[in-house]
Structure 1
Amino acid sequence: MTETRQASAPVDRVSAIGADLPYLRRYARALTGAQTSGDSYAAATLEAILEDPAVLDGSLPPRVALYRAFHTIWTSAGAPVANDEDGLRKRAQAHLERLTANTREALLLSTIEDFTPAEVAQIMQVSADEVTELVRIARDEMARSIAGKVLIIEDEAIIAMDLEAQVSEMGHQVGGVARTRAEAVQLGTEIRPNLILADIQLADNSSGIDAVNDLLAELGDVPVIFITAFPERLLTGDRPEPAFLITKPFTEDQVQSAVSQAMFFSSTETLRA
């Protein structure tokens, strides 16, 4: 009986990480800038764990152990971003390579994924003091590197004002705020933003996703950050889904981190030395 319990423990531990997989996808997509490549790294992590459950460090909480396994695979691959035909990701990769190593990972883990400094240290296998320094460097470097025009699609006035203030404080230009799908398409076509921040459910019961799809058909490859109270619905990996996602209620750190990451995958016109 004891042997049976011991044998089942790794299996139970693998099963326990299932609830965290959508959020691992979110993290992976933010690192790579695309759903396909991000999900591929998340899938590679899960495959490694299923092949050898010992990949999960049994001394760590399951979620921390999962992200640590991902980090090992990610760093061993050289932390690449997605490829595309027009070279957008390649240019973004060249820009990212000028940043201090591990800074984006530390920032995303601390803000978007809401790990404590001690947990980030366990994931990245560095000290908590180094994590604090990496996050500080990330904020400084990314604040100096990126500027662009942002379209906000949000029907709640207070939330829209909050987003507008945060985006402006980061040095970006807010091109306007739209409350419906029709307004978003009209405004976005006029201002041609470098980044779109979009709520899922809009004022007239129209869809922020539909508005974004309309705009992308017109504007081409523009980074999008979706805002939703139900992130699991957009992190299944089963269909076209967003690369960048923040959850309501959000914090200032989460918005600023997501905006900074997404802007790396905008056109080179928004990248300045």
Structure 2
Amino acid sequence: MSVSLSEEIAPLLPYLRRYARALAGSQKSGDAYVRACLQALVADQTIIDTSHGVKIGLYRLFHVLWNASVVPPTAHDGTVSIFEQTAQQRLATMAAESRQTLLLSTLEGFSLPETALIIERSEEEVTQLVQDAIAEIDRQTKTDVLIIEDEPLISMDLIQIVESLGHGVTSVARTASDAIAAAKAQAPGLVLADIQLADGSSGIDAVKDILAEMSVPVIFITSFPERLLTGERPEPTFLITKPFNPNTVKAGISQALFFKGVEEVAAA
């Protein structure tokens, strides 16, 4: 890539990785697709159409490569999480393009016209694809959610969002210790976590301790996504930036539960 194109693409990569991970259901698989996209660009810069801006061009190129299955799904080698093991099973129940459209228009914040450009569909088709995705995900089994958040107003918003989707809230924790205790008292089916908590403790540390005891999908909701999207491991598969759009949180919850283990969903 030329220096100028590289410079324009570099700040977009953390968010492209976020999109790829949410789409694939794992950091490993998502990052593999992003690497393939970059390798294709290095080989031939003319494959990216920047007439509508570099960001739209980059996501459009990624969309083409994803649909072409340039990178094979991650093999189950005994170390793959329960979320990845069930991803392909659940993908079979939903058109991939519907999920792509939902993520682009909510998690990534593209407008309806921009999403239509990226997936090369009409705006009417994009609207229908989003509706189809939401309808399919809503058929997933409901679960209980642990919220780790120290701001009361934000906690209230998250509770309302969670309950509007038909889920329940097990607890709202303001500190890492409270979150760990709440998870031990009642195992959640999903965790929504901030990274900076009331007593100076870390939501990241709380999540690490919780995941050491149980397998549960986690969505980080933070004002500082760059602290988590560093390109280093481990990084979250699901990450939402504050201030958030309620529809973005709803889409994130739906995506996280989409990849949740079948056995865990049934038990939640």
TM-score if structure 1 supplies the norm length?
Answer: 0.91
- 2:184 and 2:106 mapped to 1: Cα distance? 32
- Aligned residue pairs total 263
Unpaired stretches in structure 1, ≥5 consecutive residues: 1-7
SS at match of 1:145: coil
Distance of 1:81 and 1:131 partners within structure 2: 26
- CA RMSD, aligned part only? 1.9
Aligned to 1:58: 50
Retained in 2: the 8 A contact 1:146–1:264?
no
Matched position secondary structure for 2:221: strand
Residue 236 (structure 1) aligned to one of 230, 234, 247 = 230
Q: Does 1:160 align with 2:170?
A: no
- What is aligned with 2:171? 176
- Give the Cα–Cα distance (whole angstroms) in 1 for the partners of residues 139 and 74 of structure 2: 24
Match of 1:102 in 2: 97
Contact 1:111-1:254 within 8 A present in 2 as well: yes
Partners of 1:240 and 1:65 lie apart in 2 by 28
Q: CA deviation at 1:78?
A: 7.9
1:263 is aligned, of 245, 252, 257, to 257
In structure 2, do the counterparts of structure 1 residues 81 and 158 end up closer, same or farther at CA, with 3 Å as the change threshold? farther
Segments of structure 2 that go 5 or more residues without pairing to the other structure are none
- The structure number with the bigger radius of gyration is 1
Change (3 A) 1:165 1:81: farther
Check 1:114–1:267 CA distance in 2 against 1; reply closer, same or farther (3 A cut).
same
Shift of 1:81: 5.9
- Other structure's SS at 1:222 match: coil
- Code of the residue aligned with 1:198 in structure 2: it is A
Q: Which moved more, 1:179-188 or 1:98-107?
A: 98-107
Percentage of matched positions with identical amino acids: 49
The structure-2 alpha-carbon separation of the partners of 1:139 and 1:271, relative to structure 1 and needing over 3 Å to count, comes to farther
Aligned counterpart, 1:68: 60
For 1:130 and 1:120, the matched residues in 2 are separated by: 10
Query: 1:168 and 1:79 mapped to 2: Cα distance?
Result: 37
Alpha-carbon offset, residue 158 of structure 1:
1.0
SS at match of 2:15: helix
Structure 2 length as normaliser, TM-score? 0.92
What is the alpha-carbon distance in structure 1 between the residues aligned to residue 112 and residue 33 of structure 2? 23
Supply the distance in 2 between the matched residues of 1:79 and 1:43 (Cα, whole angstroms). Answer: 9
The amino acid that maps onto 2:223 is A
2:107 alignment partner AA? I
8 A contact 1:14–1:53 mirrored in 2: no
Q: State the 1:82 CA deviation.
A: 4.9
Bigger drift between 254-263 and 229-238 goes to 229-238
Q: Could you report, residue by residue, the CA deviation over 1:121-175 in whole angstroms, capped at 9, with x for unpaired residues?
A: 1111111111111011111111122311111000111111110110011011211
Instruction: After TM superposition, give the deviation of residue 68 of structure 1 in Å.
Output: 0.7
